[in-house]
Amino acid sequence: MTVSIETTVVGGGENFMGELRTSEPMSRHTSWRTGGVAKHFFKPDNLEELAVFLRQRPADEAIVWVGLGSNLLVRDGGINGTVICTSGVLGKIALLESDLIRAEAGVPCAKLARTSVRYGLGGAEFLIGIPGTVGGALAMNAGAFGGETWPIVEAVETIDRLGRRYLRTPEEYRIAYRKVEGPINEWFVAGHFRLKIARDDGLKRTKALLERRNETQPTGQASCGSVFRNPEGDFAGRLIEACGLKGVSVGGAVVSEKHANFIINRGDATADDIERLIQLVIARVEAEQGVQLMPEVHIVGDAAPAESAQG
C-alpha cells in the first residue's frame, strides 16, 4: 500500500517552528520496524515548541510518546491521534553539579551511561544495556544488569497537555518493577540523575556490560528488547526456553534462538504476527509452567481491518 506523507511547518497564534507530518508510517520509528501509520507525527525542536504544540491539540486527542521506538508495538491499524517523537530532538545533556546530570527525554540511555563515565561518575553504567531513551526509562523504570532507573533519579521534569512544566521528586511517584505511577496527564521531558564519584574505571565496566549484552542478546536484529517482565524469582527467557519455544514463529515473527525473551521481525512481520506470537508464548508458558507472563512491551494503536490483516 502506498502511503502519502506530508510535512508541514506548525504554526498558529503563537510563534514557533516544529515539524508535523501526517499519515506517518510508524515502521520507520519502531525498533520492530513494523506497524501502521500515525494520523499526526510531531518532532519539536525544543521544550518551548513542545509546550506551544500541546496547547494547540484538542483535549480529547490521543497522544503517544516515542523515543527510539524500542519496547513499543504499534498495531497495523495505526494510531488515530498524535505521536510526539523525542528522539534526535530533546537531546540535551548537562552536568548540573559535580555528581548530578540532567538529561532530556530524547537522550539515548546508552549515551547517558557513556557521558556519566566521561564525567567520572558511577551508578549509571547499567543504562548501556537499555535500547531506549531517558523518557522511556523514566516511564517504565527500565533496568538492565541488575540496575534500575529510579534509584538514581533525584528529580524529573514533566509537561502536561496545556504545556505547563513541573519539577517533581521521586516521592510524588509510586515506583515498582517496570512500573511507574504519578500525576495523570503529565509526561517526562527530562530527568536529574544523582550519581557517585567513580573509584574505578567506568569505561571498562560499560565496555564489559556491552560485550555481555552482545554475547547474550540478538543485537543488530529487529526486536523490541525484552518482551516480557521477569516474574518474581525467575526469568521469562528461561520459562519460554523450557517450553521449547525458541524458533517458534507466527508469520514473519519468531522467538529468538539466542535469547527466548526476544521476538525478532525476520523482515516481513506484521504487528499482528508479533502480537499473536506474544499471546502464543503467554498461553504456552502458563499451560506448561503455571506462570502467567506479563508483557513489558507497550502495545498501542488499532488493529487493522480484517481484510487488511489477511492480506
pLDDT at site 211? 85
The answer to whether 217 and 258 have CB atoms below 8 angstroms apart is yes
Mean pLDDT (whole number) for 196-222: 82
pLDDT(7) > 70: no
pLDDT tens sequence across 125-171: 999 999 999 999 999 999 999 999 999 999 999 999 999 999 999 99
Specify the pTM.
0.88
Q: pLDDT tier at 14 (50, 70, 90 boundaries)? A: very low
pLDDT over 70, % of the chain: 91
Confidence of residue 200 (pLDDT cuts 50, 70, 90): low
308 contacts: CB under 8 Å, gap ≥ 6? 76, 77
Catalytic: which of 116, 226, 256, 275? Answer: 226
- Cell 509510586 locates to 174
Structural domains of the chain, with CATH:
6-85 (3.30.43.10), 93-204 (3.30.465.10), 227-295 (3.90.78.10)
Rg (CA), the chain: 20
State pLDDT tens for residues 66-81: 999 999 999 999 999 9
* pLDDT(2) > 70: no
Is pLDDT at 218 greater than 50 in this prediction?
yes
- Exactly one of 49, 148, 157, 296 is catalytic; name it: 296
Q: In this predicted structure, what is the pLDDT of residue 174?
A: 97
Report how far residue 104's alpha carbon sits from residue 112's, in angstroms, rounded to the nearest whole number: 10
**Left (φ > 0), alpha (ψ -120 to 50) or beta: where does 188 sit?**
beta
- Sign, CA dihedral 54-55-57-63, equals positive
The mean per-residue pLDDT over the stretch 263-291 comes to 98
For residue range 91-133, list pLDDT tens digits in order.
999 999 999 999 999 999 999 999 999 999 999 999 999 999 9
pLDDT average, residue stretch 217-242: 95
Three-state SS annotation for 45-63: CCHHHHHHHHHHCCCCCCE
Is 266 annotated as catalytic? no
Question: Is 226 a known active-site residue?
Answer: yes
Q: Which of 102, 178, 205, 284 is catalytic?
A: 178
The whole-chain average pLDDT of the chain stands at: 91
> What does the pLDDT read at residue 17?
65
What pLDDT score was predicted for residue 214? 82
Q: How confident is the model at residue 12 (pLDDT cuts 50, 70, 90)?
A: very low
pLDDT-derived band at 5 (thresholds 50, 70, 90) equals very low
Q: Are 83 and 66 in contact (CB under 8 A)?
A: yes
Q: How confident is the model at residue 219 (pLDDT cuts 50, 70, 90)?
A: confident
Active site residue 296: yes
